[in-house]
Amino acid sequence: MTNGPLGGILSFGAYIPKKRLQRASIYAANAWFAGGLKGLAKGERAIGDWDEDAITMAVEAARDTLEGVDRTTVGSVALASTTLPFVDRQNSGVIKEALNLADETGAMDVTGSMRAATSLLIQALKGAGGGSGDGRVQLVLASEMRKARPASEGELVNGDAAAGVLVGSGDAVALFKGSYSTTIDFVDHYRSTGMDFDYGWESRWIRDEGFTGLIGGALKDGLKALGVEAGTIDKFIVPISVRGVPDGLAKKAGIKPEAVADVLSASVGDSGAAHPLLLLVAALEAAKPGEKILLVGFGQGVDLILLETTEALAKLSPRKGVKGSLARGQKDENYLRWLFHRGLLDLERGMRAEADQKQPGTTLWRNRKAVLGLVGGRCTKTGTVQFPRSDISVNPNDHAAHTQEDYPLADKRAKIVTYTADALTYSPAPPSYYGMIDFDGGGRMMIEFADVSADDVEVGREMEMVFRIKGTDEMRDFTKYFWKAAPVAKEA
């Protein structure tokens, strides 16, 4: 148990993929075999596209979190997830490169539990209170894209999402008031190394012994240890999608019913290790100064985090967050396409898909700023912007040499100059859209498009850069990342 304040949350952000698979479509395909799933066939769940994973979603959540923040102040990046793409390559290190942070930035992956994010957040908040003295802040991220066996409950209940908070000792939007944790090897579900799917135990036992017993006991002891009255809690966040559990825990603890946060079951689904931070971001978006927030983390024990919002909420730069991500949702009823994108349906891809996707490590190392950070060049003599950066300027009137400086393009808007819908080349989601774009402020490049349909693409359409999977080297099991251009949402 700790008491504070020891630091606080300075900023927050979130990312929910655009596609929303209708649960009725999942049920319709499996009703012949698993008719008992009908009760879960309402609403929709967020699904990442074929070129998204826990890393790409975390990058987008991080960019949202860092809106209006000087990135030179970020001292470390930490990512919590149980679906990290790499077992032995620092996933948070890829995120650091995509954000174009300094090489002196620390990075850490945290995994192995559904409460990985809350445990990580507690340590970050404690560290912020210690005061490093250099004014640097910690970027805490959580991202999850879990697989579920077809015709399982998890297939309908789960969802894909990412969220982030910036932790430090500056002008906090929410002050850290303390935490309380227990660690108990309660195995409600598990997934061993090399397994694709979770194995879960009996739901009633999990509810009675895990949710009611362990969380209920931790709430009783934790509230007492933190010295806070249950009735003073304004927002109670329990990232459990089982109907009635958050309300039941609140009632047992003496927390007012109206304080219980929506768990976003109908619109997003349970995003696993990312869900506590996702719900925290949603709560902060709607919070007023002076509110007490109690966040629960559950997984082989319980974490409780007590926060109190401040007047700084009103000063925060606008961001997409949970609210903006939900607003951009797009209905999807193509269950078979989703199975294919998850690697659960083996379609005939044809010879065009057989090209070797090998990524030489030497080339990636030399060009990591351009590939992962989308850093181009700007001629200091003529102001000409180009991608990629080179020793000689592309200015037709002055091929100046050795005059270029780094020029990040990832956060620049762009407009479509030309485009093509290619149905011949292999794509997991044909046709493949790509074209020439002009960046605001200069610079031009040929690039693939993401999150588009025929109605989204036109000359002059405003685009924004998104970090995505470029391709997968299936022979060597290596994921390649690059940037793509996605349509900026039109004003309603």
pLDDT in tens, 417-430: 999 999 999 999 99
User: pTM value?
Assistant: 0.95
pLDDT of residue 352: 87
d(CA 366, CA 385): 20
Confidence label for 201 from pLDDT (cuts 50, 70 and 90): very high
User: If you classify domain 2-187+202-341 with CATH, what class do you get?
Assistant: alpha beta
Give residue 142's pLDDT.
98
Q: CA 281 to CA 273: how far, in whole Å?
A: 14
Share of the chain above pLDDT 90, in %: 90
Three-class secondary structure assignment of the chain? CEECCCCEEEEEEEECCCEEEEHHHHHHHHCCCCHHHHHHCCCEEEECCCCCCHHHHHHHHHHHHCCCCCHHHEEEEEEECCCCCCCCCCHHHHHHHHCCCCCCCEEEEECCCCCHHHHHHHHHHHHHHHCCCCCCEEEEEEEECCCCCCCCHHHHHECCEEEEEEEECCCCCEEEEEEEEEECCCCCEECCCCCCCCEECCHHHHHHHHHHHHHHHHHHHHHHHHCCCHHHCCEEECCCCCCCHHHHHHHHHCCCHHHECCCCCCCCCECHHHHHHHHHHHHHHHCCCCCEEEEEEECCEEEEEEEEECHHHHHCCCCCHHHHHHHCCEEECCHHHHHHHCCCCCCCCCHHHHCCCCCCHHHHHHCHHHHHHCEEEEECCCCCEECCCCCECCCCCCCCECCEEEEECCCCCEEEEEEEEECCCCCCCCCEEEEEEEECCCCEEEEEECCCCCCCCCCCCEEEEEEEEEEEECCCCEEEEEEEEEECCCCC
Q: Who contacts 201 (Cβ-Cβ below 8 Å, separation ≥6)?
A: 187, 188, 189
For the cut 70, the answer to whether the pLDDT of residue 1 exceeds it is no
Q: What is the predicted pLDDT for the residue at 356?
A: 86
Say yes or no to pLDDT of 4 above 50.
no
The per-residue pLDDT of the chain, averaged, comes to 94
pLDDT bin (cut points 50, 70, 90) of residue 331 is very high
First to last CA, the chain: 47
Average pLDDT rounded to a whole number, residues 384-388: 96
pLDDT tens figures, 280-311? 999 999 999 999 999 999 999 999 999 999 99
Secondary-structure class of domain 411-492 per CATH: mainly beta
The pLDDT, as a whole number, for residue 7 is 85
Q: Which residues contact 379 (CB under 8 A, 6 or more apart)?
A: 385, 386, 393, 395, 398, 400, 403, 404
Give the model's pLDDT for residue 430: 94
> Residue 104's CB: how many other CB atoms inside 10 A?
8
Q: Which of 440, 448, 439, 453 is nearest to 469 (CA)?
A: 448
Give the span between the Cα atoms of 342 and 456, in whole angstroms: 25
Q: Decide if 195 contacts 313 (C-beta within 8 A).
A: no
The residue behind tokens 């362990």 is 214
What's the rounded Cα separation, in Å, for the pair 77 and 63? 12
- Among residues 85, 61, 68, the alpha carbon closest in space to that of 139 is found at 61
Is 217 exposed, middle or buried, given 0-12, 13-18 or 19+ CB atoms closer than 10 A? middle
Domain ranges, ordered by start, for the chain: 2-187+202-341, 411-492
Q: Is 68 exposed, middle or buried (0-12, 13-18, 19+ CB in 10 A)?
A: exposed
- Assigned token pair, 99: 């954000």
If you average pLDDT over residues 138-156, what whole number do you get?
A: 97
* CB-based contact 237:204 (threshold 8 Å): no
Mean pLDDT of 365-394: 95
Q: CA–CA separation, 455 vs 490, rounded Å?
A: 12
Mean predicted confidence (pLDDT) in 49-58? 98
pLDDT of residue 5: 47
* Phi, psi for 148 (deg, rounded to 5): -140, 145
User: What is the reported pLDDT for 329?
Assistant: 94
Counting every residue, how long is the chain?
A: 492
